[in-house]
A and B are shown apart, each in its own frame.
Chain A
């Protein structure tokens, strides 16, 4: 299920605390010029995430927004951290699994007493995990 993904964890001040692009290894990296578009789309989708999170008790909100070829799936943690994933292919199960794994990873990371909540995540271990789950559930 090859496709391009952009994953972001957004804090409660609408600040991105983690960002990652996941592309299938076969494709060459996306053009640099459009990377900011991912941010724009993800940021704009927060409006819809905030709207839809109250309409369901599930954490996984499925596709909340769409812009051009991009779908935006979202996941809201118990602490209202928002996981936003941009994808250009449908992959509901994979995305759900990915979100769940990332949720667990995030919880583990946030329990680190040296990590200040809502601050950018600069852990290479976290990064590796995210890459691993991205490969496992999204691009593989």
Chain B
């Protein structure tokens, strides 16, 4: 609640107290100066006389009027003239600036509700003082004049005379001066001042007697001063003068006025350049800009030891030295003809100089005011004042009042000027009808006298009389349309009623409103309107009409007067706050407006205060633009006041707010914010200690929770063809982690270090990983931290010199670094990073600890600046000059705080909010360990399907410890194979077919089982020592399917000691392009041997025009051997072509060495494989040494084929057969039915009849282009496993095989669950046995000799199964003949074939064996006969005789029976 110190009544009476001018001689001032006071100052504290009933006078009606609380205003005459407007303006500004609010805002504490506004009171006081008394009013004119001379002067009487003369001259001599006196005959009071210490009392008394006799005792007084002994001189407690001399700079805590930041010269210029204030043309002159503004007391006379009006003679008149107190009434010696106003202006700079030097000179000698005044001196002063009032003033007032009253009464109703009468008749009598005063009253006009009477009565407390007089005057002026006078009278009438108190009339508020309106609109005298408003609002406030008061204040604000408007708006705001109910939001708004005007007026502290108070209301409501405006202004003002911390807070919140909310400020505005903020930070930095931590900056936004930490050893940079392994990186997909963890687990299993449960090594920690355990990092290995930064602003920001902040505690007893001087931790610096507007960017920072210990990452620091505009950055920076152009950056930091995922385990955790501990930023640094480096040479980016490509791999241990064991794991062992032996020297590693032929061509599929995802690399004795290097060949074989394919590799090295093995991963990508599609279809061949035809179909689907040259075909199948005698051709496949190869494999007798494996289907894998191969071309340069194979037509059972080296083709062949469980268990197994039961052993044995399991290996070459763009020959191989008879298998599944999806059923029907087939189906059972008729192809028979021709046929019954079978032959065809295939010659086949002899034989055929059944067929005529048309059925040896299965395979075998003509006999 902003209460003024004065009540409304006090304020009004103070404003209109009786004023007395003081004219003193230099000697008097000299006496007073001993007390560091002027005479006026000396007397002022005692002018408030409150002696009840003592001051009385009789009014014109002869009733006694008692004056209570008479307060005289003593004015130093020389200083009392109203200053020129611009000086007044500056004085007002000064007094506001110096009346500062309590320093609440400096420490950032919120400003409280305003309790008081002393600056406003000081301002309005000053305003009343500097305001010249108007033409139309007399209350503020001098009613008396005190002439003071010293008894020590040479001729006191003469001096008195001179002073009196001067006074007279002032009053009557010049037109301007007369306006300052109340009437023509003011009271002249004579004062003789005696220095008790210097002048003997007797002589002084003598002088006084002379004075008394000259002027009469009632208007003379003798004042003795300085009676205090020098040894007793102490400051008075309390200092009565303090309130009157207070505006000296020495009283402002030693703070010179200009340090309040109020008016820098620029602001002075700004302030006084406002239109209404330009009074004189000199305002822009340098003297006003360079000199300090006048202090207020220069005009008030309070601090006038100055040679103020010191005209040229002033030094001569001041015998007491530089302060020259006596110079004040210098006008005595030199009456300035131009009046004070003209003398003053040229003197102003002088005053300023003296003013500034004053405190240092004077404060040294005199510590306080009134040092020479004893208590009796003070009493004497009091007596003097009351004497003057009682004996001088009161009678004078009485006389005056009576005289005026007489005049008024006599002239009432008699006289008006002709003009006014005319006006009354013809003019309107409303204010506003006339523009201004058109009536000019003479000095002694009766209307004026009425007003004068009112003023006199008002000044001396006779409010009733005053009101009557004003009311009369009001009517007169209204009638005359003398609006200025009218307004003044109305105003004073209202005030009279107000002061008259409760028993008077109801307060006429409309009078005041009328006065203000008239002043403002009709007279256009805003200064009077302002004054009236001040009174009016006081009256309103007194009657709690705050809203009206506020509106009045607001009405008086003007665009051109910033200080005034600011103060009035602030008062209006306070009024809003005090209204019922408090209009808090209006208050805030008007405080903002006020603060704005304060800042325009250069009153920074007040502006700051106003904004702070308003900000309390706006805070936290989300009025974003308003908040931004307030924060920005607060920041600016604080910064201008050197309050950097406050400025930083304000601007920081501004930017943080911009970051938090979707901001709608324009980019330019935001750029301004940022620039200002950076500027403030710079200021803060320059003022703070150099080693201080950088401040925390609000932008950019750090998304702490998304921070990721990567613990991964640094890889060597790529050099001369060597590509380093990718290692773990931030780019890795989180989903892939499970794969890597599984590989790691496999490696650890092989190492025997697996722990249960398995805890994977998390290399990249993010908010999705489990971070409950501290990440461990070996010393000297970098840790990468990826920060996600968001720029919420619409301007690009530039960060530079980014670095991680950290703490490090060394482990006790740990290894020290190489020497104590190197720091334990190196935080690597990222030099530059630009954040685009509204963009999110990831920034990776690294840190390396060199010794064991605990490393905690706290945050990061950076230099923030605005990125240069694109236009600036376009020209390349040319040398250091361009670098300076970039906006300067400020150093700041931001902490990184992370928390784990929300816990949901226990009930407590579910009902509350708990987060797991997150230790991803707390690293445990361990002893330096082994460190793996992996690099590749010749790593391709794309391969053809099936292409085999060697890559040289270099494994280096760059750590400090040896590696004892080394594992290489891959999720895709079909894709790559690592050769365990070092590559032979001298041989070009790029040669695909390098490597010696394997010692034995017999391979076993079981070897494939030993292969797996993990391969241990044998290391030399002692492991891989630090710095050691291992060179190996890594073979890649592209899969058959085209498309992209990940190439992933995990190297796991076990170092000695308890630490976890070191891991290194490589994740690459391979693009596989199509080359050839191969399909194989096995079918039985008809013949005495059990053999298969493998129909190999090769289609060229390669994109290039180069043909695929088939080099070699090989077959690896258990139980089968390639018949190399069979002719094979077809060598090249062009794009779009298809070639067929046919190879024949023979059944190898089942060996007993495999034990009873013949009946064991799983044992098939254990069988030794015969790999036989046939070279298809002879021009392959790499096959020269195998040329002898081409000639070797002899099938050599068990012979190895040296055309196939173990590396890499057999390796991949083995890997082709490798069947691994999926690396990761399927995510959603679902309701998987029970795995189909394995068929019974007997069933499997039967199924073996159709089971081929032949793997065809097809090697090829073609022309390709390597990475360097050279044309080169690439080699590859396809392998296809033909599993079943008559069933084609392909490398390249055709698109047509896509099965249509079954219809979607909403309600799942009962899954058809056929009983698991214990028994092989029809497709197997009817192909168990083949029957081949063996007979002569042609029979010559002499039908003439014997009518019947009997053809012996031996039926070769072959049992293809692994089960003993009983085979029934039926010579009578039982099956439908339609199932037979019709041969081309079938139409010629005679049907007159009759089987003779055994027609339904049956025979038991051992597993895999064959039996011969001799049969016989008889024909009766020559012709073509089919001997294969026998029905074949079989059953298992132990099965029932009826359980026969008709066999589908029929062999047609034609025999030609020719008639043999016995020509010989005929001849």
Contacts and interface: CB of A to CB of B under 8 A. Distances in A.
Given A41-B589, A43-B589, A44-B586, A120 B622 contact: yes
B795 to A, nearest CB: 14
Most buried by B among A13, A15, A32, A47: A47
A110 B581 CA distance: 31
Contacts of B625: 35-36, 38-39
A39 B623 contact: yes
Interface in A24-39: 32, 35-36, 38-39
A39 B628 CA distance: 11
A47 B626 contact: no
Most chain A CB within a 10 A radius of its CB, from B584, B589, B665: B589
B503 interface: no
B623 A16 contact: yes
B622 A16 contact: yes
B629 A16 contact: no
B621 A15 contact: yes
B1185 to A, nearest CB: 77
A51 B585 CA distance: 12
Interface residues of A, number: 19
Interface string B553-589: 0000000000000000000000010000101111011
Contact of A36 (B576, B583, B629): B629
Interface string A40-59: 11011111100100000000
Interface in A101-140: 120
Contact of A47 (B585, B629, B664): B585
Given A14-B621, A47-B584, A32 B626 contact: no
A43 B623 contact: yes
Nearest to B589: A44
Contacts of B666: 32
A44 B592 CA distance: 11
A36 B628 contact: yes
B618 interface: yes
A128 B567 CA distance: 44
A44 B588 contact: yes
Contact of B585 (A16, A32, A46): A46
A32 B623 CA distance: 15
Given A40-B626, A43-B589, A44-B589, A13 B669 contact: no
A41 B585 CA distance: 9
Interface in B267-297: none
Contacts of B628: 36
A45 B576 CA distance: 12
B568 to A, nearest CB: 16
Nearest to B628: A36
Contacts of A16: 621-623
Main secondary structure of the interface of B (DSSP, over half): helix
Interface in B834-853: none
Interface residues of B, number: 24
Contacts of A14: 585, 621
B626 A36 contact: yes
A16 B666 CA distance: 20
Contact of A40 (B576, B589, B624, B665): B589
A39 B586 contact: no
Contacts of A46: 585
B632 to A, nearest CB: 10
Given A13-B621, A16-B621, A39 B626 contact: yes
With a 10 A CB-CB cut-off, give which of A32, A38, A43 has the most chain B CB atoms: A43
A51 to B, nearest CB: 8
A123 to B, nearest CB: 14
A53 to B, nearest CB: 13
Contacts of B589: 40-41, 43-44
Contacts of B618: 43
Contacts of A51: 581, 583
B565 to A, nearest CB: 13
A38 B583 CA distance: 18
A15 B620 CA distance: 8
Nearest to B590: A44
A8 to B, nearest CB: 9
A16 B625 CA distance: 11
B1021 to A, nearest CB: 71
| Most chain A beta-carbon contacts within 10 A, residue among B626, B629, B665 | B626
Nearest to B662: A122
A16 B665 CA distance: 17
Contacts of B624: 39
A3 to B, nearest CB: 20
Nearest to A34: B625
Contacts of A45: 585
B596 to A, nearest CB: 10
B669 A32 contact: yes
A73 to B, nearest CB: 17
Residue among B585, B628, B668 with most chain A CB within 10 A: B585
Nearest to A41: B589
Interface in B614-667: 618, 621-626, 628-629, 664-666
A39 B669 CA distance: 17
Contacts of B576: 47
A86 to B, nearest CB: 13
A46 B666 CA distance: 27
A40 B592 contact: yes
A55 to B, nearest CB: 14
Nearest to A17: B622
Contacts of A13: 621
A41 B576 CA distance: 15
Interface string A88-106: 0000000000000000000
Contact of A43 (B588, B664, B665, B669): B588
Nearest to B592: A40
A40 B625 CA distance: 9
A122 to B, nearest CB: 9
A48 B587 CA distance: 12
Nearest to A38: B625
Nearest to B618: A43
Nearest to A47: B583
B1422 to A, nearest CB: 98
A48 B628 CA distance: 24
Interface string B1406-1449: 00000000000000000000000000000000000000000000
B584 to A, nearest CB: 7
Interface in B1441-1463: none
A13 B589 CA distance: 17
B666 to A, nearest CB: 5
Contacts of A32: 665-666, 668-669
A107 B790 CA distance: 36
A47 to B, nearest CB: 4
Interface string B591-624: 0100000000000000000000000001001111
Nearest to A21: B664
A74 to B, nearest CB: 13
A48 B583 CA distance: 8
A43 B591 CA distance: 13
A54 B621 CA distance: 24
A15 B622 contact: yes
Among B583, B621, B623, residue most surrounded by chain A Cβ atoms (within 10 Å): B623
B584 A43 contact: no
A51 B583 CA distance: 9
A22 to B, nearest CB: 15
A43 B621 CA distance: 10
A10 B664 CA distance: 18
Q: Which of B576, B581, B586, B590 has the most CB of A within 10 A?
A: B586
Contacts of A35: 625, 664
15 contacts: A14-B621, A32-B665, A36-B629, A39-B623, A39-B625, A40-B592, A40-B629, A43-B588, A43-B618, A43-B621, A43-B623, A45-B585, A46-B585, A51-B581, A120-B622
A-B pairs with lowest CB-CB distance, top 5: A44-B589, A36-B625, A47-B583, A39-B626, A36-B629
Given A36-B626, A43-B626, A44-B586, 5 more contacts: A32-B665, A36-B629, A43-B589, A44-B585, A47-B576
